Amino acid sequence: MPSFDTVCEPNMVEVKNAVENAAKEIATRFDFKGTSAALELKEKDITVFGDADFQLSQVQDILTAKLVKRNVDVRFLDKGDVQKIGGDKVKQVLKVRSGIETEQAKKITRLIKDSKMKVQAAIQGDAVRITGAKRDDLQAAMALIRSEIDDVPLSFDNFRD
């Protein structure tokens, strides 16, 4: 029976490369000389450092530009709160979203069931598997998911015939 998986998985290699490129640009830019502006990647957390909120937003703009250049959707980033770390220095943690949350997965399955298509949706861990009898039904389900769910960067894997 044909099926596919709906997932929310960033290309971590490209994210790592974008962070490294942004850190390199920050190190060489004249307006960041002598400041604490920096980027750091640990597992799936990107920590942004700066002297003030304005500088923090500048560093994030550089990171966003590098991510877009490497075809990584910026909707993968969840911004945390700005924290003071001593003196006038601040930091912010950006979490790289990976996997579909249960609330979002339930929304996708409800969307499929309410559409009255001849496909079934099942939540499997951090992915949603869609199965159906015909390939055309699955492609219609993909189009429906793309059009209705726009707050999460979804992709489709394991298309099996």
Q: Which residues of the chain have pLDDT under 50?
A: none
Amino acid (1-letter code) at residue 76: F
Euclidean distance between CA atoms 7 and 127, whole angstroms: 5
Q: What residues have CB less than 8 Å from 123, skipping those under 6 apart?
A: 102, 105, 106, 109
How deeply is 48 buried, as exposed, middle or buried, from its count of CB atoms within 10 A (0-12, 13-18, 19+)?
buried
Task: Write out pLDDT tens, residues 12-30.
Answer: 999 999 999 999 999 999 9
Q: What CATH architecture is 3-8+99-160?
A: 2-Layer Sandwich (3.30)
CATH code 3.30.70.990 region(s) in the chain:
12-96
Q: Which residue, chain included where needed, has tokens 């990647």?
A: 41
CA angle 140, 146, 150 (to 5 degrees): 160
pTM: 0.83
pLDDT at 142: 92
**Architecture per CATH, 12-96:** 2-Layer Sandwich (3.30)
Which amino acid belongs to residue 50? G
